[in-house]
Structure 1
Amino acid sequence: MNIDHDTMVISKEEPQIISLPESQISNATKMMADTFFGDPLSCYLIPNERDRLGILEKAWSKTINHNFPLGHVYCGYQGNDDISDSVGNSPILGIAAWLPPNAKSASLLGSLPLILEIFLKNGFLSTKRVLNTLTKTEAYRLHDCPTPHWYLEGLGVSPKAQGQGIGGLLLQPVLQQADRQGEICYLFTSTDRAVKFYQRHGFVVREELRVLNDAPPLWMMMRSPQV
């Protein structure tokens, strides 16, 4: 499997992995919101199902639009050899959104409109949970990785496409680049299943974090460059 200009050249039987086209950002945010709707962290932060999907769409839109100009948002789709036609006609199967070394996460100030919406729709408790999650996960990341590193802000595979190896393929452009350049990768996840998945790709658990006493566990994970 070769990577050239952020595009993997893989067989027709496998999903295609490419840099996300700008025209597909909206579809990508909807896919990520659908995928994370039942995630333990999403359910904890936004317990009201009626509001959760809309808030998740706005949160993922913010993340993907922030990361997109930095050049490391990848999508998976099932298509033919004509990539430009295939993305437009095929559903997005998965997304990986990375912050490259030295890039900053979206500021808390920039998130205030969404945080205000969460407060108005879901009250103080949800707002407190969101703020604690944002601040504590960021603090742990910077403590664990004080030097420049790759940060996986989101990896999601559509429920209809899981079990096909798409998640692993989506990681490869950055993992291979990080290995070549001797760089660390970092992420956090909220399920045992995801922990095992990331461990298969070289990540190790640094901390098991609960942002509040009643919160589900979050696993902070780091990957050293593989030789």
Structure 2
Amino acid sequence: MGVAIRTAGEDDRELVVRLLDEAFQDDPVSGWVFPDQQHRRVTHPKLMAAFLDIVLAEGRVDLAEDGTGCALWLSVPAAHPENEGEAEENGDAAQLREAVDPANERVELIGQLTAAIHPVGRAHEYLWMIGVAPDSQGQGLGAALIQHVLDRCDREGVAAYLEASSARSFTLYERLGFALLDRPLDLPDGPRMWPMWREPQA
């Protein structure tokens, strides 16, 4: 699928937040974080905005030129000394909860649980989120957005990592060369997530 992709900036913030919100409103993990649907409609965009701001500051946002899809990437360096970042990650999760939905412990818990399974050791590209507008899903746009970075990973010999939040996305990522890393993460009284790793390919 030929997709024109550009790097998003601050001017695209409103568009990308809306895109992520629409793409993840009915995602199993979003439903677990915000089980009340009415509350989710109001609060979910705030979480998407907080995630986007982190990636705009520290990573890269790829945006389809027509505004129908985006991918949020962070470059993770080689391992830091053991446990050095653990307290910082937990602190980040607590700050996120305070900013987005202070009464909702799951906003903090999802950050802690995904940080705990995130691999350390080798530098890699981390696909934090990928969102495609509901009307454009199933047409290969998500795969094209991901492959855009995977091609660079292959050229540079860099691995990639993500957490799949649904069985459907797990299947897509398998087709792109990702494989289950260790074992799935079962959220407390909630859905399953799949940590997946991809070695650079020739």
- Supply the AA of the counterpart residue of 1:34: E
Which of 201, 207, 211 does residue 187 from structure 2 map onto? 211
Describe how 1:112-191 pairs up with structure 2 within 5 A. Answer: 112=94, 114-116=96-98, 117-120=100-103, 126-127=104-105, 129-142=106-119, 145-191=120-166
Uncovered stretches (5+) of structure 1, i.e. residues with no partner: 1-9, 79-91, 121-125
- Which ranges of structure 2 fall in alignment gaps of 5 or more residues? 79-84
Are the equivalent residues in 2 in contact too, given 1:188–1:220 (CA < 8 A)?
A: yes
1:165 CA drift (Å):
1.3
How does 1:1-227 map onto structure 2 within 5 Å? 14-78=2-66, 92-102=67-77, 107-112=89-94, 114-116=96-98, 117-120=100-103, 126-127=104-105, 129-142=106-119, 145-206=120-181, 207-212=183-188, 214-227=189-202
AA of the residue aligned to 1:43: G
8 Å contact kept, 1:67–1:97: yes
| Number of residues of Structure 1 aligned to a counterpart in Structure 2 | 193
On the 8 A contact 1:132/1:211 being kept in 2, the answer is no
Aligned residues of 1:102 and 1:148 also touching (Cα < 8 A):
yes
Identity %: 29
Q: What is the CA distance between 1:111 and its match in structure 2?
A: 4.6
Following superposition, which runs of at least 4 residues in structure 1 exceed 6 angstroms of deviation?
none
- How does the TM-score come out when normalised to structure 1? 0.77
Instruction: Report SS of the residue matched to 1:130.
Output: helix
Tell me, in whole angstroms, the C-alpha distance in 1 between the residues paired with 2:184 and 2:89: 24
Provide the rounded CA distance (Å) in 1 between the counterparts of 2:171 and 2:64. 21
Length-normalised TM-score, structure 2: 0.85
